[in-house]
Amino acid sequence: MTTNRRRFLASSAAAAAPAILHGSPSSSAANDRPAFGVIAAGGRGRYLARYFAKLGAECVAVCDVREDCLQEALKDFPQAKTYYHHEELLAQKGIDFTVCAGPDHWHLQHLIDSLNAGKDVYTEKPLSKTLQESAVMVDAVRRSGRIVQVGMQRRSAPALIKAKEMVDSGILGRVTMVKAKWHWNTARPLNNAPFPGKVDWERFLGPAPKRPMEPRRLRHWRWFRDYAGGNMTDQGTHLMDVVQWFTNSAPPRAATAMGFVAKNEGAEHPEVFSATFDYGRFLACWELNYCNDFDDSWSILFMGDAGTMLLNDSGVTVWKEPWKDNRTPIVEEKAPVPIETHIQNFLDCLKSRQQPNCTVAIAQRAVAGPHLANIAMDLGRTVRLAEDLVTLS
């Protein structure tokens, strides 16, 4: 199967219809304490809000479809105004930027509406739910003149920036294979218990197909096709971005994938999968297993003919080739991936009006391969990215 960008853009015209308004940064955005509103104040939204507040921004509004999430947010930000609909939040005066942390199927609309309201945006990854939406979002941001950072924090991690410089120096030689993985032993049947407070179910569904209330679809939205691309795109956008960044590569030209639901009873997306991407000059593998914790969390292994580099939560390690004779690392730096540096980069860009470390164009390229892999897994065969999509702008 070959995807086609022109067809994607044509089918997305309706989504792009809202006019994108241009504007200059508000006065408070140029000051030391910009005000922000959180669209989707679930666990991730509140997590980000706490870091934004720690770094000097002020949370003045929160929005969510769940009453219990709003109440939790008020524990951290008691002066914030609360809303069930993001349009009401965007109408509140004095908000300089939004933090968008909703389900994937709302990413497009939350971004477009924030731009139309004249706000800068910090939006969570993956950028989009589909390849079509990615193209619309990139075009909208370009026309808006706003600052938009996508939450792929490895782009602002000092240790990874230094590691990228090492790869550029030729320390690995010719890279022919890259292996990305994520292992957590967290799989279990999805919780379908009722919520403790009010839930605006229709608002959660939004542009997704209409369905009767089913708590696990909201509580675990990432595992359902109506609302997200599963962890193929969620964790995959992080790791495949680093693969492409370090190798100076466009998205892969082809993908194949397989996976299954092992223990996440009730889920649609698999929590055990393996995908392979063809980049022409090298292959990349992306695997995830949420039923095993060996070598916990994420890692990326770059395999070159002059050296091997391992990136993970611990930091950066490099071995010289041939490995069997050089098992003592020539580089070993312990350094985690902090979220603070990525958020600080966005806050700095609000003042400078310079582009942030992870633009929507970068995020579009990062998620293209994972989107392609989901299509390949659904069809049960290799899927190729059309030539006019390989060189995404």
Q: What's the pLDDT at 11?
A: 40
Residues 6+ apart with CB under 8 A from 53: 59, 76, 77
- 292: closest CA among 255, 262, 257? 262
Q: What's the pLDDT at 21?
A: 53
Is 363 a domain residue? no
164, 174, 259, 301 from 169: Cα distances, Å:
9, 11, 37, 17
Is 207 a domain residue? yes
Q: What's the pLDDT at 106?
A: 98
Residues 147 and 187 in one domain: no
Residues 180 and 322 in one domain: yes
Residues 194 and 253 in one domain: yes
Residues 221 and 316 in one domain: yes
Buried b (16+ CB within 10 A) or exposed e, 295-333: eeebbbbbbbeebbbbbbeebbbbbbeeeeeeeebebee
Which tens digits make up the pLDDT trace of 279-338?
999 999 999 999 999 999 999 999 999 999 999 999 999 999 999 999 999 999 998 899
Residues 240 and 116 in one domain: no
Q: Any idea what the CATH number is for the domain that residue 198 is in?
A: 3.30.360.10
Q: Kindly state the greatest CA–CA separation across the chain.
A: 64
Residues 9 and 118 in one domain: yes
Structure tokens at 197: 């407070």
DSSP state of 212: -
Q: pTM here?
A: 0.92
Residues 136 and 12 in one domain: yes
Average pLDDT over residues 69-76: 98
Domain with 40 in it: 5-155+341-358
Is 108 a domain residue? yes
Is 68 a domain residue? yes
Residues 118 and 197 in one domain: no
One-letter identity of residue 241:
D
Residues 151 and 223 in one domain: no
Question: Hunting for tokens 């998620």 — which residue is that?
Answer: 367
Which tens digits make up the pLDDT trace of 97-136?
999 999 999 999 999 999 999 999 999 999 999 999 999 9
Is 169 a domain residue? yes
Is 366 a domain residue? no
Residues 116 and 187 in one domain: no
Q: Any idea what the CATH number is for the domain that residue 12 is in?
A: 3.40.50.720
Rounded distance between C-alpha atoms, residue 80 and residue 66, angstroms: 16
Render 318-378 in DSSP notation, one character per residue: EEESSGGG--S-SEEEE----SHHHHHHHHHHHHH----SS-HHHHHHHHHHHHHHHHHHH
Higher pLDDT, 7 or 296: 296
Q: What's the pLDDT at 195?
A: 96
Q: What's the pLDDT at 32?
A: 80
Rounded to the nearest integer, the mean pLDDT of the chain is 92
Question: In the sheet that 35-39 helps form, which strands lie side by side, from edge to edge?
Answer: 81-83, 58-63, 35-39, 97-100, 120-123, 148-150
Q: What's the pLDDT at 17?
A: 42
Q: How confident is the model at residue 16 (pLDDT cuts 50, 70, 90)?
A: very low
Residues 384 and 236 in one domain: yes
Residues 6+ apart with CB under 8 A from 83: 61, 62, 63, 89
Residues 6+ apart with CB under 8 A from 169: none
Average pLDDT over residues 162-173: 98
Question: Hunting for tokens 């695997």 — which residue is that?
Answer: 287
Flag whether pLDDT at 393 surpasses 90: no
Residues 141 and 169 in one domain: no
Is 365 a domain residue? no
- 99: closest CA among 24, 25, 21, 40? 40
As for how many domains the chain has, the answer is 2
Higher pLDDT, 368 or 16: 368
Flag whether pLDDT at 388 surpasses 50: no
Cis peptide before 322 (omega within 30 of 0): yes
Is 179 a domain residue? yes
